[in-house]
Every structure is written in C-alpha cells, then in structure tokens.
Chain A
C-alpha cells in the first residue's frame, strides 16, 4: 500500500525525468533488512507511518471541509463559538493514548537492540578519515577497507558502474546465523557506521567504545555508508558486508591470515626503484591523495604540499617518521598499522621521487619492517 501511494506520487514527479538516470532500481522506503531486529524496526516504522496518515486524514479532512464549505464566497457566516473544555480535553487525551500505543512496541524493540550479551564473534570497527578498519578480535586478523570506485568515475570521465560509491577493496566478511558484536571507536573525528539492512547505526567516537550487535539471516552483500560528517571525504567511505555461511567464514579466515603472512614476507625481498614507484603511486592515490592531492600540491591552509616540501625532499628519517607515526593533533594519521611495510616503503619512495621531487633513492621495505617491529601498543587507546 505504501508502495502504491508513494510510487504514484513519485512517478508523477518522476515522469519529468530523463532516461539517463534510470540506471538503478529506485526505492522509496526503508529496507526491511535481513535480521530479526531490522524487521521489527521496519514494522515499527510502517505502523507509525500509518498512524500518522490516519491522523492527517482526519485533521486535514476537517480543514479542507471547512475551507470548502465555510468560505465567505459561498455566503458562510462566522459562528463565533470558542473555548469548549470537553473538546479540548478530548483532543489532548486521545493523542496521549495514541502515543502510549506507539511507545510500547518502540520500547520493546529498543530493549532488544540494547542486549548485546552472549556474542559469538567480536569485531572491532575503527573509523579513520576516510576508511574503516575491521579487527576480528579473537582471530588475529585486521585490515582496512577503502572505497574502490575509480576516480575517473567520480569525476565523470568514465561510466559509473552499478555499485558506484558503494564498493570497497576489502569486504567485511561475516558469518550468518551468528551473534556478532561490533565494538566501535574512532582514530580521529566522529564517524557513524551504518548498514541499513542490519538496522545498525552507531557512532564511532574517539576515546569511546560503543557496542552494537546483529545476527544476519541470509548470505549476501549488504552495503552502507558513514553517517556522520567526518570531513572532506565523508561521502566516500562506504561499508560492504559479505555475509557467508559459517563454514565459508572459517575458510575465509584461514585464507585471509595466510595472505597477511605473504604480504609480511614480501617485505623481506629486495625491491627495485621502479617496482616501489609503481606500487607507491597506487598506495598514494588510495591513502594520501584525498588530502595531499594526486598532484602532491595539497590544499593551502589545510593540507601541506608534498611537492617540494622540506620533509619530502629532506632527511629521510623525518619523512619516515611522520608517515609511520603521523602528527598528533592534526589530520595526518599514523600509517604504521594501516599499511604494510612494503606499502609504506613504496609510498615514501614515491613521494620522494614524484612531481619533480627527485632524490633518486629508494626506501627499502626491509628498512621499514625493522622500524615496525617494536610496536606493541595499537593506534587507539
């Protein structure tokens, strides 16, 4: 029913549109989602929506009836009645009762949403400007998840694909039929982790750890976005969940851990300057260009230029230090836990040899790996 009304209104407006944008199916309502909680939320939403529609019909009905019948042009004379205690008490009590009727199911759903006890899997989610880090706490596995939509699509130089802006390089893989607890925090500003299909939206706040939970019923891909303004690329830090069967999840965990070892091992071999430059450019575009710009020119007053900068063309130790450890109190994050040793070496090498910075020297992954070893504490408190 809601579909029908909203679609009629919508298509009335929509008819004026060009075909060009009709690429994806449009929705006009909340998703019922794929969890028990998300379905209760959806039902609650629909119930309250229909109550509002009913009240609106009555109130606007009387109003339009008066507008039609009690107009001067039809010879209506004003009947100067006013103040009627009975009427006034009735129109105070009835809304109150309706509200109580709404509050009961709302409270029940909220209580359910707050019960994160007895989770089987804990995933820590950390917001960064502008990416998410997922840490499977009991499984020694963590990784970053970045937007993977190519820049050319955003700047309209290439056709936009189906999941434009809602695709990432690494999915958050989760098992179905498992109570999963999310522990949310942030490394810098406040972000908000939102996946509509799970009806989970919780802020990731520096210095706090928030809890949320879910039990996913159906395998599938579920997409979401950051929902709290977190700076320039707030619109470009999506979330993609891949829900798989419990067995597949175990398999995936094993594979992912093996991959991680391979990457660590890669740091031990010798890399050529060309290899480093090539990988460095990719890493730079993914992790640094949002602030320092692809041209290395930065944004005056906000993000310094790296092209010709004192650090990127000076002492290598200082350069390595700021990239590994960031600079506290600024938007420059510590990248030591975000990138692998070879990625760090590559990006630093790239910065020292791109855009006319031409030091000619390579920073080797092995050198970085040695610096990374003594880390014990994690980036967040």
Chain B
C-alpha cells in the first residue's frame, strides 16, 4: 500500500485544501473541482434540454396543434439538439475526464490547470448567450441542430448571429479541454505506465481529444462562413450569388460525423472500465480494443457523406461512402464481442453501474444495427430524415452515451463523495430509465418506417398510436431522471462509508487512493499496482 502512504504523506506537508466560498469555484485550478463543475453544469443542461424534449413530445402526443406554434416547435427541436449535444453529453465526458484521468495515470493534476479553469468557465457564458435567443425578436435558432444553409443564413431569424458566437465559444472550450487531456495523458503518466498499460478510459479519451482538435476548427469555419454570408455579403452558401448550399453540408458533416464519435468513444472507455470490475475478470482483448478505437476514429473522417445520400452526389461517391460506413461496423463489432467475451466465464454481480453498462451494450448495439441499415444507401432513401433516424440516434445517444455517463457517475461516485450509493434507489433509477427509454424510442422505428418525417409538429393519423406511446415513455424517462438527481445528492450528503477500493473487482490507481479522494492526490508519483505492472 505504498501509494496510499505517499498520498497521505503529501497531504500532511501543508498542502492547502480548497479555498472558501464562491472563489473556490471561480478561480479553481484543481482538476477535481473543475470536474465537479463540468458535471453539475452538464446535469443542468441535461434537464434543460430534457424539458425541451418533453415539450416536443407533449405537442406530438396527439395529431393536431395543441400546445405550441410550428415556429416555436422548430426552436425547441433545435435548442434541444444543441443543448444535449454541446451542453449535456460533451461537458459530462470532459468532467469525467477531469476527475478520473489524473487519478488513473497517477498524475497530481491536469497538465494545464489554468487553461482548465478557462475551458470550463467559457461554457456558462456560451450557453447563457444561446438560451437568451429564445427571448429575442424572431425567436431562437429554428433550423435544426444541423443548421443547413440557406435556412440558417438567408432565411434565419436575427438571433443566428448570437448562435454563431455561442458555437465559437463552445468550440474554444472543447479545443482547450482536448489539448489539456492530450498533454496530461502524454506527459504525466506515472513511471512504468506505458501507453499499452493506459486504462481504456484514458485511451478512448486521448483519441477523442485528437478528434476534437481536428474537427472543432471545421465547425468554427463553417459558422464563420455563415457569419460572412449573413453580414458581409459573401455567397459561400447562397446559390443566387454563385455559392453552393451543398458545400455547407459537406463542411458541416466533416465535423458532424467525427462529432458523433466524440460522443461515443469516451462512453466505450467507461464501459470498458466497468464491465471487467463487475465480471471480476480482465478485459478480454485490451490491445484489440485500443486498435478498434483508433480505427473507428480514423474511419470517422471518411464517412461524412452518409448523412447526404439524398443530396444527389454521384454514384461513385455514393458507393464510396456506403462501403466506408459499413466498414465501421467491423471495429464496432470487435468492441461488443470483447465486452461479451469479458463477461463470459466471469463472476458477475449486478450493482447499479453494471446494470447501466449491460443496458448500454444491448441498446447501443441495437442503435448500431439501425446504423448499419442506414448505411445502405438505396434503403437510406426511405429512412433518411424520418423518425427511423430519430430512433437510431437516440438509441446510440441516450442508452448509449447518456447511460454510459450515468454508469460512470454511479461507478465513481463513491470515490468522489466517500459514500456508497443506496443500491435500492440506484436500481429504481435504472429500471425506470431502461423501461422509459425503450417505450420512448422503440416505437419511433415503426413510425419512421411507416413514413413519418422528423422535425414536424403535427402528423397524419396513421402515426397517432405510436406517437402517443412514445410521448408516454418520454415522460416516464424524463421524470425518472429526478431519481438520478436525488441519488447524486443523497450520495454527496451521506451514506455507507466507501472503502478506497469501493468495488470488489475494481483495479487501477484511482482505487488506491482513499474515498473520498483527497483534494490533492499523487503529489509524488505512486508505484503501479501489481495488476498493472
């Protein structure tokens, strides 16, 4: 227990604890504080975006317009999508990285702590600006989270300029966060932890960080081109001025497809930490997991036009993007097989984090199957921009990314708070979420195949039944997230004392430090535990 001593030892030597009051949070450079800020911010955004989703689902409960005007409905879908993607999922992963990466690699903090403070504190301003557009003349952005030109340029409400600046700020924040994670992982690993001993959560985040650095500037570029078209008389996307509206889509999706992997690779990492713990067995194929993650990341740059099968790209282009997309199924399959092989002949228990991880494996894979179907270009003509797509991306994002985040939160909460979760409440949250998510999103496959386009506030009568089911499910799912909030608060406030190694099968440096983790960990490098040597 050498490592434990060093931490405690370091603590005795006058290392200061957290500052007092609001200043602690405003000026903090401590990775744990910043991680906490990110996580709470993400939860707030999750509830904000969730309320918008419920507003959408309430309007779609029955055919006819009941609650909102079509224009406002479009603002809701747009803001819901943007807030969930940029406000809920991405910051949650950065928060988890902040908390866990230094502890997993035995580093005292992130490599660039001041920049870390900045990359968080930009976010509340960016989102305040974006949400304020709801109260402006002409309303908030109403062109979908994909903001296709010219709907988002020539035909946009005036608030689009604020939207553009908000996107710029989010991009800056993400890039800074990514640089920090790369610098930390590459430079601050404890001696002896070679790259091929890096915990998988760190590996997937490292690769994600490179994706972020590669594509966030592309997003910044595309919104800047919009800004120029709107205010400075250029015609990048304006056909009447010799521009090209399809160019917008190419640039957007060159960012957008890697973006969806940015939202799923860290989730793969979390799941790859949790399943071995509760199966009490090493991950079946560590090396192949690393290579699979890297191949997914590389392929993700070559498939963007699968979102554009109907824009009229030439046959050869269509075929190329179809084949490249299908190819992604191979490394993704490798990941799923690895998780299953890890469970096989293990010694499994089913605490809350494991339940979420298992649900992730099953439901993410279902989303993967519908993804494979969407990759088949000729059939995608029938699926594209219907509720089938809405079902697909919610299966990968909600029981995919979001369940992984919740699994991670439940897994590491004892380390953060020093208290074990009330398992009964954890299981309640799990089962309500699991049932709710499926009632919400499974019927969307049916209404999509039956022909209901996405982003519509009202629909033909043959879609009525399943829309009603989906709306009921959405309210079950949405309300059950209050149980999550309750669980987190309860766990912060008290509960059974957590041991340093809070879960029986847990391996890794983060489980060598006491729970709750002291404000400063690893002031001197720890020794690698036996299992990682």
Contact = CB atoms under 8 A, between A and B. Distances in A.
Q: Do A and B come from one complex?
A: yes
A102 B468 CA distance: 35
Residue of B143, B279, B287 contacting most chain A CB atoms (<10 Å): B279
Contact of A160 (B63, B137, B379): B63
A167 B468 CA distance: 23
Interface string A86-113: 0110011001100100110011011101
Residue of A56, A95, A96, A230 contacting most chain B CB atoms (<10 Å): A95
B348 A66 contact: yes
A269 interface: no
Contacts of B283: 82
Interface stretch (B42-50, B86-94, B451-459): B451-459
A164 B461 contact: yes
B385 interface: yes
A331 B323 CA distance: 39
Given A21-B62, A45-B379, A228-B385, A205 B326 contact: no
Interface string B311-355: 110010011001100110110011011001101111111100000
Interface string B436-469: 0001001100100111010111111111111011
A156 B64 contact: yes
Interface in A206-237: 206-208, 210-211, 224-236
A221 B381 CA distance: 20
A26 B466 contact: yes
A197 to B, nearest CB: 9
Given A229-B148, A234-B456, A196 B139 contact: no
Contacts of B349: 71-73
A28 B388 CA distance: 11
Interface in A135-174: 153-156, 160, 162-166
Interface in B374-430: 376-379, 381-382, 384-386
B469 A17 contact: yes
Nearest to B456: A235
Nearest to B292: A92
A27 interface: yes
Interface stretch (B65-73, B96-104, B298-306, B512-520): B65-73
B136 interface: yes
Residue of B378, B446, B455, B466 contacting most chain A CB atoms (<10 Å): B378
Contacts of A160: 63-64, 461
Given A23-B461, A82-B285, A227-B385, A66 B346 contact: yes
B185 to A, nearest CB: 23
A63 B340 contact: yes
A155 B68 CA distance: 11
Given A78-B347, A192-B384, 10 more contacts: A23-B461, A26-B446, A44-B376, A76-B345, A82-B286, A83-B286, A99-B330, A129-B155, A199-B382, A202-B310
Interface pairs A-B: 9 shortest CB-CB = A207-B239, A301-B138, A301-B137, A235-B456, A210-B312, A21-B464, A52-B369, A28-B446, A27-B450
